[in-house]
């Protein structure tokens, strides 16, 4: 067995692990990167990249048949489902070199393609290699969780890990789970010609502001997606090529089944007990992302048990580089400034605290301001007037922002920056934006916060009258 000593050993070549490896190696650290499956992890191969690629194909198909009042005649799109999957594969293939083993070996990283397990507090074995490191970074990500529903083991079912390999368009896709993955795949498939039924045990898009989530739910229903809420799947069966999901409220039959109920962190192969690393559903870490029971070990991204987003893993990587590479042990991860987006049409984006959280913390100091898409000139010009922004303000600063509408994921960036840097609403209001753009929605929302103070304040009117009377 080859024995290797290094500064930093990273387990997992997904978004977080790759970011740590790139930063640490280029700064001069001796880095070993271990990956037992595919370089690029879930995001490149099964998650963000393929799902957004399929959504892009579906959006194009929908646009051809729904041209609105723009003077262009709608046509029935001719959808080639297999060709849409070819587009997905091509996008993955185009991006893959950025995450490739060759690229990281070019940085000086030792890449080992095997599964890793700890043998003690400072040693990992991967295949024929024994690695001893000053620091370990667990970046193993997560996998789709398939609950033990009665009959599931006897039924052909898909998850995000294999749905993109399906070449034949589902006649009727049943989706168990109404979270972001389930809702995105529902809209993609309804637009590509499938019938779709979503079965959700609680509320669809339950982690988002309900008022805004209802706009997305209504849009999908208008396109033909059947959304069943508040019904847990009790039993699943398959007969004669048809799959039936039974709930306490009824039964639903389709041709294909997608499980999208949540995710589980990939820790099973690591033998964390041998490393004296405390964990439950994820690795137990503090805000420094460091194990309290083995200070050599860090965890990032999904493995750290926090928000499960690719950009969170990338953000955590920056914390790790500052701490483990540069010795800035005071570097900490926070969550109050992390945005997330569901890429349906309309998009649903959020950053910061929820309304309940802001109300609980600030009480009567909280103010809610809104601005509608149908009051924005660019949205009107493009016929994209469905949606609005909702900003939760306390002490003159945005504490939480939700946007539903076209390009909400792009618009949320301004608010993510403001919350991350503790900026006031005036920073948004004072920003000059090009006209006409959707980004003016942000500025108009900030203006709506100040409008009552300027236009409904008797003292302001008195001052203005005096100025006009006596100003030379």
Residue 208 pLDDT: 96
Over residues 85-99, the mean pLDDT reads 98
**What distance in Å separates the CA atoms of residue 158 and residue 236, rounded to the nearest whole number?**
13
CA atoms within 13 A on the CB side of 222: 10
**Closest Cα to residue 205, out of 20, 348, 380?**
348
Annotated binding site: 52, 140-142, 177-184, 200, 262, 302
Mean pLDDT, the chain, rounded, equals 96
Does residue 453 carry a pLDDT above 90? Answer: no
Look at residue 463 in the predicted model and tell me its pLDDT. Answer: 77
**Is the pLDDT reported for residue 440 higher than 70?**
yes
d(Cα 328, Cα 338) in Å, to the nearest integer?
Answer: 22
Give the number of other Cβ atoms within 10 Å of residue 416's Cβ.
20
Residue 401 has pLDDT above 80, yes or no: yes
- pLDDT-derived band at 421 (thresholds 50, 70, 90) equals very high
Query: Which token pair is 161?
Result: 């890990």
Which residues define the annotated binding site for FAD? 52, 140-142, 302
Largest CA distance in the chain: 91
What would the pLDDT profile of 300-359 be if each residue is shown by its tens digit?
A: 999 999 999 999 999 999 999 999 999 999 999 999 999 999 999 999 999 999 999 999
Question: In sequence order, what DSSP letters do the residues of 313-331 get, joined into one string?
Answer: HHHHHHHHIIIIIT--TT-
How distant, in Å, are the alpha carbons of 5, 10, 110, 113, 316 from that of 275?
17, 15, 22, 21, 22
The pLDDT, as a whole number, for residue 339 is 98
When mean pLDDT is compared across 163-167, 418-422, 452-456, the lowest value belongs to 452-456
Helix, strand, or coil here: 343? coil
CA distance 308 to 312: 7
- The helix, strand and coil proportions of the chain, stated in percent and rounded to the nearest 5, come to 40, 25, 35
Domains and CATH numbers, the chain: 2-39+100-144+264-325 (3.50.50.60), 152-262 (3.50.50.60), 339-455 (3.30.390.30)
pLDDT band at 465 (very low <50, low <70, confident <90, very high): confident
Query: Residue 454's pLDDT band (boundaries 50, 70, 90)?
Result: low
Task: Count CB atoms within 10 A of the CB of residue 452.
Answer: 11
Q: pLDDT category, 461, cuts 50, 70, 90?
A: confident
**Known binding positions for NAD(+):** 177-184, 200, 262
Short-list 371, 342, 302, 243, CA closest to 42: 302
3-state secondary structure 352-374: ECCHHHHHHHHHHHCEEEEEEHH
pTM: 0.95
């Amino acid at each position: 067995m080859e024995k290797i000593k290094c500064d930093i050993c990273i387990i997992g070549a997904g978004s977080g692990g790759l970011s740590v490896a790139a930063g640490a190696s280029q700064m001069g650290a001796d880095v070993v990167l271990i990956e037992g499956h595919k370089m690029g992890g879930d995001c490149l191969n099964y998650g963000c990249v393929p799902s957004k690629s399929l959504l892009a194909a579906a959006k194009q198909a929908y646009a051809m048949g729904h041209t609105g009042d723009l003077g262009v005649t709608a046509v029935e799109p001719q959808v080639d489902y297999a060709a849409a999957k070819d587009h997905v594969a091509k996008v993955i293939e185009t991006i893959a070199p950025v995450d490739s083993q060759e690229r990281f070996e070019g940085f000086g990283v030792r890449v080992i393609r095997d599964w890793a397990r700890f043998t003690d507090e400072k040693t990992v074995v991967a295949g024929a290699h024994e690695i001893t490191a000053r620091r370990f970074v667990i970046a193993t990500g997560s996998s789709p969780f398939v609950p033990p529903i009665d009959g599931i083991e006897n039924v052909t079912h898909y998850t995000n890990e294999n749905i993109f390999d399906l070449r034949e368009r589902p006649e009727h896709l049943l989706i168990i789970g109404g979270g972001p993955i389930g809702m995105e795949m529902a809209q993609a498939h309804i637009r590509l010609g499938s019938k779709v039924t979503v079965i959700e045990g609680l509320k669809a898009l339950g982690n988002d502001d309900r008022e805004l989530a209802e706009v997305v739910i209504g849009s999908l229903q208008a396109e033909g997606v059947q959304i069943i809420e508040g019904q847990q799947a009790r039993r699943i069966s398959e007969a004669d090529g048809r799959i039936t999901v039974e709930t306490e409220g009824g039964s639903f039959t389709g041709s294909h089944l997608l499980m999208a109920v949540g995710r589980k962190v990939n820790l099973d192969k690591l033998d964390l007990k041998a490393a004296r690393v405390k964990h439950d559903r994820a690795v137990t870490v503090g805000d420094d992302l460091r194990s309290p029971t083995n200070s050599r070990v860090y965890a990032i991204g999904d493995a750290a048990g926090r928000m499960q987003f690719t950009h969170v893993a990338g953000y955590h990587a920056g914390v790790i580089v500052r701490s483990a590479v540069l010795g800035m042990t005071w570097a900490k991860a926070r969550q109050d400034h992390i945005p997330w987006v569901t890429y349906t049409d309309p998009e649903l984006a959020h950053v910061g605290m929820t309304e309940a959280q802001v109300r609980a913390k600030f009480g009567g100091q909280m103010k809610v301001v809104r601005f509608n898409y149908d009051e924005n000139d660019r949205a009107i010009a493009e016929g994209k007037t469905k949606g609005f922004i909702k900003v939760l303000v306390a002490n003159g600063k945005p504490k939480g922002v939700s946007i539903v509408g076209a390009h909400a994921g792009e618009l949320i960036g301004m608010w993510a920056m403001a919350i991350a840097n503790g900026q006031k609403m005036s920073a948004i209001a004072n920003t000059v934006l090009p006209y006409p753009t959707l980004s003016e929605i942000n500025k108009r929302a900030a203006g709506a916060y100040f409008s009552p103070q300027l236009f409904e304040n008797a003292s302001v009117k008195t001052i203005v009258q005096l100025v006009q009377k006596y100003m030379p």
